């Protein structure tokens, strides 16, 4: 109690001085799972945020940018909502941002709507999140946006049938349904499907099932983390290498941390994603170089680019509005905004406040002895198919 | 302050125990301080009150009846989802929602108590854990009802008493949680100081002898388990209503484990143990994670280790031992 | 028809072996010494990180790191046992829970601080990758290796507890501490060594587990539930029980997920609750 007393007394003092300079400072509250099993996502996302500040300075349009970081500690909408409330009422932040996990983003959206604060979603990927607050905007992706082009592409390549394997939770089910829908619409056949528990240490039975289905291809979605390497090893152990069975997946499967655990037997895995650190563009080369320098040689992934683009959006909006960051002005300025990101050209859909971007189809190849996702096809200006279907 | 002497009869012993002590009154008055001193910490205060209530419900079975549970979040989650689903399908009135959630959780508690009451030791812990995990998986697969891992969406909670909206500052949330906590606490306090409460402690202290003096051990355990489940359900419903959403985390192993840690930290078998434990744990976590979002686990871990080493039987247990030692010395 | 069943059974047994290696040490400390050591998997994590560090930073071969993982986890546990655990041998179970959970909290933060939050990469030797075919059944080499290691360790352990002087001292110390002291057995030392061995095995299990399940700072929490399930189903203090329980849980989990994927996540919990309702002290429990 005493600690918080001192802190709140300090905060009150700060607040007194802050109101004097309030006009010159814009505060951004970042809510992410800095601790717990999702901690690595925050390391990446915060890395992207820090890099943007490092490259572009902490002052924009005469306003000083101040970042306040809060730990949601995993899937915890009660904590996320409380932190959002506290950031708004106690720390007087102007913008809420971050959000790796869907339930947390949804809970904080309530606060954004109630307090008219802009909410920048840098990762959480369930389609409906952006409908919860009129002041929210997303710079990451939705899973249907990623896997729908993959399903269409697969059918176009003459792949006749597929076995789908997804993690049994919201994003996994989204991915399964979107992929199957796109694949069937192009006359592909789904031979079978499994949903695997999210906390699943051993994938051998599911891989065996996929093998026994004798499908030409398998589609996989599992969250990034310890699992991608584990499931890829299970495929290789069972002789289901990409030269025999087409392995199609959302890009989490061949995330950099998974690739470090794999060898050439995984070459040929086909993934769809919006970002990979090997993407060829001048902007991306600088981004990757600087990110590595700041993060012990780690490569940036989608979360880092999400944090980076989120900050870019915030900076550009501040420039455009001259520092007005109330919910309505922020969103009005963000709608339709388009810019060059390390992942290519992206834009904010003025109707849904969701992102429009290019989906790359990549093949895992060995480049100079290292596994790399090599882009060889793409679908441009992809919108979130779920909301596109809703508005029809 | 009266200390029981062998000659005292049980009625006057219980009556003496039940008398409110000054320190307790000070404690509850202090609970009003956040309104004045920390008005921008009210949401945290409200969540501490809710977690304290949850820890109190665990204390009834663990501290008083000796049932260690690693699956107590099952009832918290049932209460939370019941309250959430009610408001989603058109009944957003909070207080009746709370009562209905309590009833549903009590029913679940009674049903599981039929199993629980037959076991002890590690088997008991693991069966509560297993039932809790099974329920978690059921909630995950019942996507149509619970929203699965995306969380329950579309809750519409009506203003409290038709007048007070749940505001951003948490005034309504803390007032509501605190009043519910106080009411339930008073009920729990009476229960503990009743002959039934005494019988429970007897079961905890001597499992085999209690039936020998005529106490129906299993019936007692079923009863207290059902009551504790209802209380946990109330806590869950409060959280759902004040936050406006429910996620699988409400019913997870993590929540069961956290509440156990908080109760033991505060002192199991003491009415205030759960509330004090929740206060220490959540304030420490809030402060540590504000300073070091990535590494607060380190500091909270050290805190737990330090408490065990310096104050055995939890903060309250350790403190009262210290006070007793100091008294007997002077 | 036989081949897929045999293959799935084999995978189940191999997975069970992994669980066995991770949990047998806890069965020893919990059963023999009556100490609730929830930090057991933190020692497993330590073993994992030792292996990763030696391989990736110092270029050690995989096999050479395994004994070091064992020794490091054992040594770390002795330090904790001498400084913290021993003071709580007589304390309540709940205090022991609080202490060891505190240690897991600290271990999570320390691992995240030293190694970052990313999943640690590891590459086992080529001859442990891929699979071999025996009578049409596909057997993954690494899993075959796991089964082998677990078999050797089981034999050594059972022999050690049943037929060596040290094993006899441990059993004596557990059955009647005062009497054991009276006979001149150094009970403190015996417990410390037994504890170190149990934790060392966890370290070894952690090192061997990376290839199958990966390693991140949260390992100490993630596998705690699985380990507790194996220990309780097997029966406290029983090495054979742990082995049987680990195989049962492994097979139930893998075959369940293969044949009844909709029940996949439920099955091991159902098995655990079922076994404990039938035999509350576990399959091989004594009390």
Tell me which chain A residues have a C-beta less than 8 angstroms from the C-beta of C13: none
Q: Which long-range contacts (CB under 8 A, 24 or more apart) does A347-351 make?
A: A347/A381, A348/A137, A348/A139, A348/A313, A349/A383, A349/A384, A351/A391
CA distances from B95 to A267, B44, B157 (A): 59, 21, 11
Q: Residue C31 domain-assigned?
A: yes
Give the residue ranges of chain A where pLDDT is below 70. Answer: 1-23, 391-392
Judge whether A270 and A146 are in contact, CB under 8 Å: no
| Domain at C195, CATH number | 1.10.3470
Interacting residues of A12 by C-beta distance below 8 A, sequence separation 6+: none
Q: Residue C284 domain-assigned?
A: no
Give the residue numbers spanning the domain of C172.
2-278
Distance CA A364, CA A341 (A): 23
Instruction: Please report the pLDDT score of residue C184 as a whole number.
Output: 86
Judge whether A114 and A93 are in contact, CB under 8 Å: no
C281 vs B: CB within 8 A: yes
Percentage of chain A lying above the pLDDT 70 cut: 94
* Cross-chain residue pair A78–B243, CB shorter than 8 Å: yes
Q: Residue C286 domain-assigned?
A: no
The domain covering A143-273+359-391 belongs, at the CATH homologous superfamily level, to Response regulator (3.40.50.2300)
Tell me which chain C residues have a C-beta less than 8 angstroms from the C-beta of A236: 129-130
Residue of chain C with shortest Cα separation from A296? C116
Quote the longest CA-to-CA distance of chain A.
Answer: 70
Instruction: Please report the pLDDT score of residue A13 as a whole number.
Output: 42
Stronger pLDDT, A20 or B59, i.e. the higher one:
B59
Region B83-92: mean pLDDT is: 92
Number of CB pairs < 8 Å for A and B?
123
User: Closest partner residue to C95 among B120, B140, B308, by Cβ?
Assistant: B308
Return the closest-CA partner of residue A52 out of A346, A320, A294. Answer: A294
- H/E segment holding residue A275: none
Q: What is the pLDDT of residues C230-272, one digit of tens each?
A: 999 998 878 888 999 999 999 999 888 888 887 877 888 999 9
The pair phi, psi for residue A60, each rounded to 5°, is -140, 135
Residue of chain B with shortest Cα separation from A71? B293
- H/E segment holding residue A272: strand A270-273
User: Closest partner residue to B168 among A3, A7, A111, by Cβ?
Assistant: A111
CA distance B206 to chain A (A): 39
Count of domains observed in chain C: 1
Tell me which chain C residues have a C-beta less than 8 angstroms from the C-beta of B265: 98
CA distance C250 to chain A (A): 10
Q: Could you tell me the pTM of the whole model?
A: 0.90
CA distance C60 to chain B (A): 30
Residue C274 CB coordination number (10 Å)? 14
CA distance B308 to chain A (A): 21
Residue of chain C with shortest Cα separation from B128? C273
B287 vs A: CB within 8 A: yes
**Ranges of each domain in chain A:** 2-141+282-353, 143-273+359-391
* Cross-chain residue pair C112–B295, CB shorter than 8 Å: yes
Angle of helix A282-294 versus helix A302-321 axis, rounded to 10: 110
Instruction: Please report the pLDDT score of residue A391 as a whole number.
Output: 67
Chain C interface, best mutation among A32, A167, A229, A303, by max C CB count within 10 A: A229
Instruction: Please report the pLDDT score of residue B6 as a whole number.
Output: 52
Residue with tokens 């992934």: A301
Percentage of chain B lying above the pLDDT 90 cut: 56
Q: What is the pLDDT of residues B146-172, one digit of tens each?
A: 888 888 888 888 888 888 888 888 999
Q: Residue C274 domain-assigned?
A: yes
Instruction: Please report the pLDDT score of residue A147 as a whole number.
Output: 93
Instruction: Please report the pLDDT score of residue C2 as a whole number.
Output: 59
Instruction: Please report the pLDDT score of residue A15 as a whole number.
Output: 44
* Cross-chain residue pair B127–C276, CB shorter than 8 Å: yes
Q: Is the ipTM here above 0.95?
A: no
Q: Would the CATH topology of A2-141+282-353 be identical to that of A143-273+359-391? A: yes
User: Closest partner residue to B265 among C98, C117, C269, by Cβ?
Assistant: C98
Stronger pLDDT, B210 or A20, i.e. the higher one:
B210
Region B224-248: mean pLDDT is: 95
SS3 content of chain B, % helix, strand, coil (to 5): 75, 0, 25
* Cross-chain residue pair A107–B245, CB shorter than 8 Å: yes
* Cross-chain residue pair B44–A106, CB shorter than 8 Å: no
Chains that touch C (3 or more CB pairs under 8 A): A, B
B2 vs A: CB within 8 A: no
Interacting residues of B84 by C-beta distance below 8 A, sequence separation 6+: B152, B155, B240, B245, B246
* Cross-chain residue pair A77–B249, CB shorter than 8 Å: yes
* Cross-chain residue pair B134–C270, CB shorter than 8 Å: yes
C6 vs A: CB within 8 A: no
CA distance B214 to chain A (A): 46
Confidence band for B230, pLDDT divided at 50, 70 and 90? very high
Instruction: Please report the pLDDT score of residue A17 as a whole number.
Output: 43
| Region of residue A143 (phi > 0: left; psi between -120 and 50: alpha; otherwise: beta) | alpha
Strand A217-221 vs strand A370-382: parallel, antiparallel, or unpaired?
unpaired
Tell me which chain C residues have a C-beta less than 8 angstroms from the C-beta of B295: 109, 112-113
Distance CA C189, CA C169 (A): 10
Q: Compute the mean pLDDT over every residue in chain B, rounded to the nearest whole number.
A: 90
A37 vs B: CB within 8 A: no
Judge whether B174 and B42 are in contact, CB under 8 Å: yes
First to last CA, chain C: 42
Tell me which chain B residues have a C-beta less than 8 angstroms from the C-beta of A74: 249, 254
Q: Residue C187 domain-assigned?
A: yes
A264 vs C: CB within 8 A: no
- Range A2-141+282-353: architecture per CATH: 3-Layer(aba) Sandwich (3.40)
CA angle C154, C159, C161 (to 5 degrees): 95
Confidence band for C118, pLDDT divided at 50, 70 and 90? confident
CA distances from C49 to A136, A235, B304, C79 (A): 41, 25, 25, 18
* Cross-chain residue pair A8–B40, CB shorter than 8 Å: yes
CA A139, chain centre distance (Å): 8
Distance CA A378, CA B314 (A): 60
A173 vs B: CB within 8 A: yes
């Amino acid at each position: 109690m005493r600690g918080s007393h001192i802190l709140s007394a300090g905060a009150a003092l700060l607040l007194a001085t802050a109101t004097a300079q309030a006009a010159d400072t814009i505060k951004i509250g970042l809510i992410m799972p800095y601790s717990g099993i999702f901690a690595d996502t925050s390391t990446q996302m915060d890395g992207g945020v820090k890099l943007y500040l490092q490259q572009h300075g902490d002052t924009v349009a005469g306003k000083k940018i101040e970042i306040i970081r809060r730990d949601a500690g995993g899937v915890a909408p009660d904590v996320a909502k409380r932190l959002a409330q506290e950031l708004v009422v106690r720390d007087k932040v102007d913008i809420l941002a971050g959000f790796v996990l869907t339930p947390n983003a949804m809970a904080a959206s309530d606060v954004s709507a109630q307090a008219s604060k802009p909410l920048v979603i840098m990762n959480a990927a369930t389609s409906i999140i952006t409908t919860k607050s009129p002041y929210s905007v997303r710079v990451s992706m939705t899973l249907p946006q990623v896997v729908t082009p993959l399903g269409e592409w697969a059918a176009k390549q003459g792949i006749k049938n597929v076995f789908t394997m997804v993690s049994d939770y919201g994003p996994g089910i989204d991915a399964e349904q979107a992929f199957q829908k796109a694949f069937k619409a192009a006359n592909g056949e789904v031979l079978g499907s499994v949903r695997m528990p999210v906390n699943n240490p051993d994938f051998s039975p599911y891989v065996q099932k996929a093998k026994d289905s004798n499908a030409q291809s398998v589609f996989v979605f599992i969250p990034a983390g310890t699992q991608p390497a584990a499931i890829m090893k299970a495929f290789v152990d069972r002789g289901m290498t990409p030269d025999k069975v087409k392995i199609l997946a959302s890009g989490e499967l061949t995330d950099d941390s998974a690739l470090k655990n794999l060898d050439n037997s995984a070459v040929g895995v086909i993934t769809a994603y919006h970002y990979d650190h090997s993407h060829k563009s001048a902007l991306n080369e600088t981004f990757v170089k600087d990110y590595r320098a700041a993060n012990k040689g780690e490569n940036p992934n989608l979360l880092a680019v999400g944090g980076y683009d989120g900050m870019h959006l915030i900076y550009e909006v501040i420039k455009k509005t001259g520092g007005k960051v109330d919910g309505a002005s922020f969103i009005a300025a963000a709608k339709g905004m388009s810019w060059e990101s390390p992942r290519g050209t992206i834009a904010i859909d003025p109707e849904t406040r969701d992102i429009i971007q290019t989906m790359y189809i990549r093949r895992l190849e060995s480049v100079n002895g290292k596994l790399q996702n090599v882009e060889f096809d793409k679908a441009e200006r992809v919108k979130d198919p779920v909301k596109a279907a809703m508005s029809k | 302050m009266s200390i029981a002497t062998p000659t005292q009869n049980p009625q006057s012993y219980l009556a003496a125990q039940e008398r409110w002590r000054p320190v307790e009154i000070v404690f509850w008055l202090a609970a009003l301080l956040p309104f004045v001193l920390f008005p921008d910490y009210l949401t945290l205060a409200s969540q501490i009150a809710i977690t304290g209530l949850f820890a109190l419900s665990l204390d009834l079975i663990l501290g008083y009846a000796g049932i260690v549970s690693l699956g107590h979040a099952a009832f918290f989650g049932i209460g939370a989802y019941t309250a959430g689903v009610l408001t989603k399908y058109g009944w957003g009135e909070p207080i009746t929602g709370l009562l209905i959630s309590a009833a549903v959780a009590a029913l679940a508690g009674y049903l599981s108590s039929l199993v629980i009451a037959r076991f002890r030791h590690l088997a008991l812990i693991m069966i509560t854990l297993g039932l809790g995990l099974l329920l978690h998986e059921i909630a995950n697969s019942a996507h149509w009802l619970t929203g699965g891992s995306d969380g329950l969406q579309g809750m519409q909670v009506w203003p409290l008493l038709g007048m007070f909206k749940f505001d951003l500052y948490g005034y309504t949330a803390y007032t509501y949680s605190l009043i519910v906590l106080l009411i339930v606490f008073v009920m729990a306090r009476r229960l503990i100081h009743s002959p039934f409460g005494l019988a429970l402690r007897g079961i905890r202290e001597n499992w085999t002898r209690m039936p020998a003096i005529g106490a129906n051990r299993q019936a007692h355990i079923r009863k207290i388990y059902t009551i504790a489940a209802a209380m946990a359900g109330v806590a869950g419903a409060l959280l759902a209503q004040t936050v406006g959403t429910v996620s699988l985390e409400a019913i997870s192993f993590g929540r069961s484990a956290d509440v156990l840690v908080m109760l033991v930290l505060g002192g199991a078998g003491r009415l205030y143990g759960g509330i004090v434990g929740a206060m220490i744990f959540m304030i420490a976590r809030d402060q540590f994670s504000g300073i070091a979002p990535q590494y607060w686990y380190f500091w909270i871990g050290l805190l737990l280790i330090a408490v065990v080493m310096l104050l055995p039987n939890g903060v309250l247990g350790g403190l009262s031992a210290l006070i007793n030692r100091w008294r007997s010395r002077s | 028809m036989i081949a897929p069943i045999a293959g799935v059974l084999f995978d189940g047994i191999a997975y069970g072996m992994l669980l066995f290696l991770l949990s047998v040490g806890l069965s020893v400390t919990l059963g023999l010494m009556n100490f609730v050591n929830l930090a057991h998997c933190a020692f497993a994590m330590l073993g994992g990180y030792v292996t990763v560090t030696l391989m990736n930073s110092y270029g050690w071969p995989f096999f050479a790191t395994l004994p070091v993982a064992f020794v490091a986890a054992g040594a770390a546990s002795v330090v904790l046992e001498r400084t913290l655990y021993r003071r709580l041998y007589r304390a309540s179970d709940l205090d022991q829970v609080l202490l060891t959970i505190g240690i897991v909290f600290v271990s999570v933060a320390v691992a995240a601080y030293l190694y970052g939050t990313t999943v640690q990469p590891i590459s086992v030797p080529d001859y442990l990758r891929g699979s071999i075919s025996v009578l049409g059944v596909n057997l993954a080499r690494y899993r075959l290796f796991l089964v082998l290691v677990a078999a050797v360790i089981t034999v050594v352990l059972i022999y050690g507890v049943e037929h060596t002087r040290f094993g006899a001292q441990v059993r004596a110390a557990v059955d009647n501490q005062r009497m054991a002291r009276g006979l001149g057995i150094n009970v403190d030392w015996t417990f410390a060594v037994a504890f170190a061995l149990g934790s060392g095995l966890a370290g070894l299990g952690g090192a061997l587990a990376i290839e199958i399940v990966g390693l991140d700072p949260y390992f100490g929490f993630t596998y705690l539930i699985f380990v507790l399930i194996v220990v309780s189903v097997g029966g406290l203090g029983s090495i054979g029980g742990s082995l049987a329980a680990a195989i049962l849980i492994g097979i139930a989990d893998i075959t369940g997920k293969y044949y009844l994927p909709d029940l996949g996540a439920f099955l091991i919990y159902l098995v655990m609750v079922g076994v404990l309702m039938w035999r509350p002290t576990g399959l091989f429990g004594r009390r």
